């Protein structure tokens, strides 16, 4: 964690899981860890990658608990 995150009292928790539905896995981890905000970064890549990521974002948004915030950057 960088100095900027410490100043803002932000804790970043990287989570690695393997499965078929990335959005579902991210939502499960966020709900289990009781986080306030899920921040997802997206890089500029091919159209296929963008389509796949859209599916992940949609799956995550459907499954994330209502009190949690979802921020998508990129």
Kindly state the DSSP code that residue 1 receives in the 8-state scheme: -
More confident of the two residues 13 and 22: 22
Query: pLDDT at residue 48 above 70?
Result: no
Mean pLDDT across 11-21:
81
What are the residues whose beta carbons fall under 8 Å from the beta carbon of 30, sequence distance 6 or more? 38, 64, 65, 68
Q: What is the pLDDT of residue 45?
A: 67
Strands 69-73 and 37-41: parallel
| Burial status of residue 69 (CB atoms within 10 A of its CB: 0-12, 13-18, 19 or more) | exposed
The answer to whether the Cα torsion of 74, 70, 52, 11 is positive or negative is positive
Mean pLDDT across 43-67:
78
Give the confidence band of 5 by pLDDT, cuts at 50, 70, 90: low
Give the confidence band of 24 by pLDDT, cuts at 50, 70, 90: very high
């Amino acid at each position: 964690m960088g100095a900027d995150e410490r100043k803002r009292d932000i804790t970043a928790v990287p989570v690695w899981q393997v499965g078929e539905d990335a959005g579902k896995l991210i939502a499960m981890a966020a709900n289990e860890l009781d986080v306030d905000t899920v921040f997802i970064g997206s890089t500029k890549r091919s159209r296929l990658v963008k389509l796949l990521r859209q599916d992940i974002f949609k799956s995550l948004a459907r499954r994330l608990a209502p009190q949690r915030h979802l921020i998508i950057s990129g």
